[in-house]
């Protein structure tokens, strides 16, 4: 698996559904560079079981992401038309109605491949024909991208394993704290906890006040 932390996030332009009902042809994360952080996450497929719980959970906390100047963007290999239909389907019927953040379409699989979350890869058969080996879906990858367009955090879950929205918020708080104060965040740090200076003296001071 590629480690993208510390590198520029892969660039793409693709179709997306925004505001829960509007299909746009050219959507790119570059629109956020210099303005906002981005929480960019992949999920396997529309109209599944674990996926709606995650997408709705991110929407339920959207005010907390916005308060931190973070844009949330989802992605799967489905088409914009599949996304749109799922967004119009009531939650009690397995849909994600009322989700408002952008959801992008990665039908070519190239965005999932660029972020190295694709559950399979392209190969050639004995006849020399281009084939896909594996599952043409994305694992549950999550990438925190800073305002300079650099990936600062990534985590990838296998398909059956749902993610923690609270953990995503905790990591955002840690990143923004280190950017503002220049201190580093120890294990299990959360907003309001004591941080430490990156030195032996700082570690000693932190441990003595635990």
Structural domains for the chain: 14-161 (3.40.30.10), 164-210 (3.30.1020.10)
CB 108 within 8 A of CB 138: no
Torsion angles phi and psi, residue 73, rounded to 5: -135, 125
The rounded Cα 35 to chain-centroid distance in angstroms is 17
The predicted structure's pLDDT at residue 207:
62
**Could you confirm whether 185 is annotated as catalytic?**
no
Q: What is the pLDDT of residue 49?
A: 94
Work out the number of other CB atoms within 10 angstroms of the CB of residue 153: 17
Digit-coded pLDDT (tens) for 155-185? 999 999 999 999 999 999 999 999 999 999 9
Euclidean distance between CA atoms 86 and 100, whole angstroms: 12
Q: Give the pLDDT of residue 198.
A: 76
Report the pLDDT value the prediction gives residue 85, as an integer from 0 to 100: 98
**Catalytic residue from among 4, 51, 168, 169:** 51
Residues of the chain with confidence (pLDDT) below 70: 1, 199-210
Whether the full predicted model's pTM is greater than 0.85, yes or no, is yes
pLDDT, residue 124, reads 86
Residue 123: its pLDDT value, please?
87
What are the start-end ranges of the E strands in the chain?
14-18, 22-27, 37-42, 70-76, 103-105, 118-124, 130-138, 140-145, 151-157
């Amino acid at each position: 698996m590629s480690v993208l932390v510390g590198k520029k996030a892969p660039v793409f332009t693709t179709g997306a559904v925004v505001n829960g009902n509007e299909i746009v042809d050219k959507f790119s994360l570059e629109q956020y560079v210099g303005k906002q952080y981005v929480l960019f996450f992949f999920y396997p497929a529309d109209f599944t079981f674990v996926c709606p719980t995650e997408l709705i959970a991110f929407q339920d906390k959207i005010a907390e992401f916005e308060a931190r100047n973070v844009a949330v963007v989802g992605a799967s290999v489905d088409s914009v038309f599949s996304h749109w239909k799922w967004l119009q389907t009531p939650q009690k019927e397995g849909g994600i109605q009322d989700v408002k953040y952008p959801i992008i379409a990665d039908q070519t699989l190239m965005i999932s491949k660029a972020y190295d979350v694709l559950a399979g890869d392209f190969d050639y058969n004995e006849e020399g024909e281009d084939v896909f080996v594996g599952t043409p879906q994305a694992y549950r990858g999550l990438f925190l991208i800073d305002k300079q367009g650099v990936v600062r955090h990534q985590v990838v879950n296998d398909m059956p394993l749902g993610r923690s929205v609270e953990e995503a918020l905790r990591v955002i708080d840690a990143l923004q704290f280190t950017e503002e104060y220049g201190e580093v965040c120890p294990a299990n740090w959360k907003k309001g906890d004591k941080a430490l200076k990156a030195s032996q003296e700082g570690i000693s001071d932190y441990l003595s006040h635990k």
